[in-house]
Amino acid sequence: MPELADIVEVLLLQNYNTRLVVVTTALLGVAAGLVGSFLLLRKRSLMGDALSHATLPGIGIAFAVMVSMGLSGRSLPGLLLGATLSGIAGLLTMLLIRNTTRLRDDVAMGFVLSVFFGTGVAVLRMVQGMPGASSAGLESFIYGKTASMVHGDFVLIASAAGIVSVASVVFLKEFLLLCFDESYAAAQGWPTRLLDVLLLALVTAVTVIGLQSVGLILVIALLITPPAAARFWTHRLSLMLVLAALIGGASGWLGASFSALAPRLPAGAVIVLVAGVLFLLSMLFAPARGVVPRWFRQRSLRRKVDRQHFLRAAFEILEGQSKAGEVRNEAFSFEDLLRKRSWSPFQLRRILGVAKREDHLEPAGPGRLRLSESGFGEGARVTRNHRLWETYLIKHADIAPSHVDRDADMVEHILGAELVSQLEADLGRRDVSVPMPASPHAIEPENAAR
Amino acid sequence: MAPVKSASPLLPPTQDERPEHPPGIPLAIHDLTVAYQRKPVLWDVELNIPEGKLVAVVGPNGAGKSTLLKACLDLVPKTSGWAHIYGKPYRKHRRLVGYVPQRESVDWDFPVNALDVVAMGTYRKLGWFKRVGKTQRDAAMAALEEVGIAQLADRQISQLSGGQQQRVFLARALVQDADLYLMDEPFAAVDALTEEAIVALLKNLNARGKTCLVVHHDLATVSKYFDWVVLLNMRVVAAGPTEEVFTRENLQKTYGGRLSLLEDAAEALRQVRS
């Protein structure tokens, strides 16, 4: 287990080497988050996966070429150049398959991914037998290894990440148009092919600079996960980009820090795990599209609907009990209420429990119920809205009176004050001396109707 | 004294005012053939759309209606022939054409709002790298106003109804202020309110001397909304003023064999006669 002092040292970036690795990986995360957002919106995320796997043969070949030229064979720029070229070859193969045959995209991607990766594995095994140089460490491109970074690598990766990030922001408008509506963009005269190539070039750049720290198998996670997580938080593209960059940067930062503390864990896996946790949290709790907030919203609407149904049912019972026009707040029986709608005794008891807690009900003896002052007022209001809406539907939407109850049921719960006053105006009921319109259809208990 | 320019863009150009667009008919198509995977979709299309008309393109499914529009916009390769916009190839006269694609052609669960989409209509004039500013936003807002949904400008597009989404697409074409509008099924699956709004918009465009070519699927409303019609089924079966061309015989030729549709056609004909 790492000591507390070690943890502090890593998190505060006190060690030069750690600082180098952590900052580089964070920049990589930012660039991947930005470019990945467009890739996600273009629905091409898996293309990044095929691309990263296609870099492997290039790494092996670049190593072999450098060794045969008498160079060290382990220089990062050389290896990354090889990776880039073979990644591009993979992309071109994919486009070739797509444009010249009738095979679908997923077939082209699966083919390129597996064939290039297989070739890469074979090439790596072959160059390991080459005399004169040790190829040990080339495998680290597969799973990622952050520890072995030197200053020159940092400059290379950081500047590439910087260029990619700036380019994603500069081409924001063009990429937005391309991702949203490609054929409109083409009709407008935008060079959509060129923009596509540019986007893929940025993806290639991120993939290649991510090879060393995250590894080619997992770099796709850094392209997909931060944008997908960011999408849960917002409906605005600019904000989504900022969040994706932040989430990507945080994943890189934290992941590289953790893996510095536990050097035996592959860095790529740790970074991806951090990104995965951030994604999970976003998916569950993000207010805009998260699962839990949505569940709460639905539950609160359901409760509101239940409450309004109960209050209206109670009010209609009171209307039936009252003589001579004036509705008075009296006690009524549970059985009467149960017959008003198609609810089970269990459901109704639950609803009544909520109503008690909300002070809409007062105790009235066994088997009897009585609305409170506020419950009675609310019941009158809800019933009135329901009838206004029903009348509107019958008058203006040609809905048969026998069906209107159901339709009104669905909408009335979300009627705002503004809509209600508009309804009143439309129906010519501005006159408040008629506060309660009569039901436009016969009121029958639903359970009795069956 | 120089001729007084008509102040309102709503009025058609006066006699001594030259139209801003080049002379020539809005859309001339000659010998156009389009084939997908060696299967022809359009065959020897010969068509001249006169200026200032509301033109319906009518035909059965798979008749090549959308392809016709796309071929005019250079979105699909032409096997042979050409389509000229005001006498020049499309790429020379892009700014004169407003395109409204089918609503289903894009994913509406996209992180932009209605105003953002309409502002896309200004991108071309804006050019590379420049950001949407107040001028563009104002123009987009005016276009949303014109289709009657200005109050929804900030609404995320997935929260719009189908009809409202359709109006957003129309506004995006309007913001360009084109002379020829190509619309792909703007009336498909929209509510009655939107249909009314689109018809009003078409009439308005027509009053301003614009030409609209509209892919349409509802035979019953053709003669009510359009003064010109193109009957298309791979070839042009007939094209001309609605009252001359929209006949039982031509419809039978266009929809030949599709018996279920003949009912619609008969219904439409009753409307023509009445």
SS3 per residue for chain B = CCCCCCCCCCCCCCCCCCCCCCCCCCEEEEEEEEEECCEEEEEEEEEEECCCCEEEEECCCCCCHHHHHHHHCCCCCCCEEEEEECCEEHHHCHHHEEEECCHHHCCCCCCCEHHHHHHHHHHHHHCCCCCCCHHHHHHHHHHHHHCCCHHHCCCEHHHCCHHHHHHHHHHHHHCCCCCEEEEECCCCCCCHHHHHHHHHHHHHHHHCCCEEEEECCCHHHHHHHCCEEEEEECEEEEEEEHHHHCCHHHHHHHCCCCHHHHHHHHHHHHHHHC
Contacts for B114 with CB less than 8 Å, ≥ 6 apart: B144, B149, B152, B153, B154, B155, B157, B160, B164, B168, B171
> Is the pLDDT score of B268 beyond 70?
no
Q: Find the chain A residues whose C-beta atoms sit closer than 8 A to any C-beta of B.
A: 41, 43, 102, 170-171, 173-174, 176-177, 179-181, 183-184, 186-190, 231, 234-237, 240
ipTM for the predicted complex: 0.84
Could you give the dihedral angle defined by the CA atoms of residues A272, A275, A280 and A284, in that order, rounded to the nearest 10 degrees? -170
Beta carbons of A39 and A199 less than 8 angstroms apart = yes
Contact A404, A348 (CB under 8 A): no
CB-CB under 8 Å, A236 with B129: no
Give the pLDDT band of residue B13 (cuts 50, 70, 90): very low
Residue A315: CB atoms within 10 Å: 25
Which of helix, strand or coil describes residue A70?
Answer: coil
Residue B10 has pLDDT above 50, yes or no: no
Q: What is the mean pLDDT of residues A293-303?
A: 90
Report the distance separating Cα A124 and Cα A139, nearest Å.
8
How far is the alpha carbon of B84 from chain A, nearest alpha carbon, in Å?
Answer: 15
Mean pLDDT over the full length of chain B: 85
Task: Decide: A195 and A171 in contact? Cβ < 8 Å.
Answer: yes
Q: What Cα–Cα distance (Å) separates residue B27 from each residue in A448, B53, B96, B212?
A: 66, 11, 11, 10
B102 touches chain A (CB under 8 A): no
Rounded to 10 degrees, the C-alpha dihedral B70/B76/B78/B81 comes to 20
A15-29, B2-16, B146-160, B181-195 — which is least confidently predicted? B2-16
Backbone dihedral angles phi then psi of residue B41, each to the nearest 5 degrees = -110, -40
CA B32 to each of CA A61, B45, B69, B80: distance values in angstroms, whole numbers, following the listed order: 50, 5, 12, 6
Distance CA A228, CA B111 (A): 12
CA atoms within 13 A on the CB side of B125: 18
Which residues touch A390 (CB under 8 Å, ≥6 apart)? A404, A405, A408, A439, A440, A441
Residue B213 predicted with pLDDT over 90: yes
Nearest by CB: B123 against A171, A173, A240: A173
CA angle A229, A234, A238 (to 5 degrees): 100
Pull the structure tokens for residue A87: 């990644």
Residue in A closest to B36 by C-alpha: A102
Taking CA atoms, what residue in A is nearest to B69? A187
Tell me, what amino acid is at B180?
L
B110 vs A240: CB contact, 8 Å cut-off?
Answer: no
Q: Which residues of B touch A235 (CB under 8 A)?
A: 111-113, 156, 158
Gap from B266 CA to chain A (nearest CA, Å): 27
Q: Tell if the CB–CB gap between B106 and A174 is shorter than 8 Å.
A: no
Q: How far apart are CA A369 and CA A365, in angstroms?
A: 7
Given the DSSP bridges, would you call strands B88-89 and B97-100 parallel, antiparallel or unpaired?
unpaired
Are B106 and B224 in contact, with CB atoms under 8 Å apart? Answer: no
Most confident of A321-330, A426-435, B47-56: B47-56
Does B143 have pLDDT greater than 90?
Answer: yes
Is A190 strand, coil or helix? coil
User: What is the C-alpha to C-alpha distance for residues B79 and A240, in angstroms, rounded to an integer?
Assistant: 42
B39 touches chain A (CB under 8 A): no
Confidence bin at B21 (pLDDT 50/70/90):
low
Check whether B8 has a pLDDT greater than 80. Answer: no
Does B206 lie at the interface with A, CB-CB under 8 angstroms?
no
Which has more pLDDT, B223 or B9? Answer: B223
> Do B79 and B35 form a contact (C-beta atoms < 8 A)?
yes
| Amino acid type, A227 | P
Q: What is the pLDDT of residues B107-120, one digit of tens each?
A: 999 999 999 999 99
Backbone angles phi, psi at A325, to 5 degrees: 85, -40
Residue type (1 letter), A222: L
| Nearest chain B Cα distance for residue A403, angstroms | 21
User: Closest Cα partner for B32 from B85, B76, B71, B86?
Assistant: B71
pLDDT of res. A55: 93
State how far the Cα of A305 lies from the Cα of A322, in Å rounded to an integer.
26
Say yes or no: B99 contacts chain A, CB-CB below 8 A.
Answer: yes
Separation CA A95–CA A88 (nearest Å): 10
Reported as a single tens digit per residue, the pLDDT across A181-239 is: 999 999 999 999 899 999 999 999 999 988 888 888 888 999 999 999 999 999 999 99
The yes-or-no verdict on residue A133 having pLDDT over 70 is: no
Instruction: Compute the 3-state secondary structure of chain A and give helix, strand, coil in percent, each to the nearest 5.
Output: 70, 0, 25
pTM across the whole model: 0.82
pLDDT by residue (tens digit) across A8-43? 777 777 677 778 888 888 999 999 999 999 999 999
Q: Do B129 and A173 touch (CB under 8 A)?
A: yes
DSSP single-letter state for residue A101: S
Contacts of B111 in chain A (CB under 8 A): 41, 231, 234-237, 240
Q: In the structure encoding, which two tokens stand for residue A435, read together?
A: 């506060």
Size of interface A-B (CB pairs under 8 A): 69
What is the reported pLDDT for B264?
Answer: 60
Q: What pLDDT is stored for residue B265 in this prediction?
A: 60
**A78-109 pLDDT, tens digit each:** 889 999 999 999 999 998 898 888 888 889 99
Residue A5 has pLDDT above 90, yes or no: no
What is the distance in angstroms between the CA of the first residue and the CA of the last residue of chain A? 69
Q: Which of A165-169, A325-329, B90-94 has the lowest mean pLDDT?
A: A325-329
- Contact between residue A360 and residue A311 where contact means Cβ atoms under 8 Å apart: yes
- Diameter over CA atoms, chain A: 109
Query: How many angstroms away from the CA of B108 is the closest CA of chain A?
Result: 8
Plot region of B218 (φ>0 → left; ψ -120 to 50 → alpha; else → beta): beta
Between CA A73 and CA A66 the distance in angstroms is: 5
pLDDT over threshold 60, residue B2: no
Q: Looking at the predicted structure, is the pLDDT value of residue B12 above 60?
A: no
Whether A449 has a pLDDT exceeding 50, the answer reads: no
B126 vs A contacts (CB less than 8 Å): 173
Residue B231 has pLDDT above 60, yes or no: yes
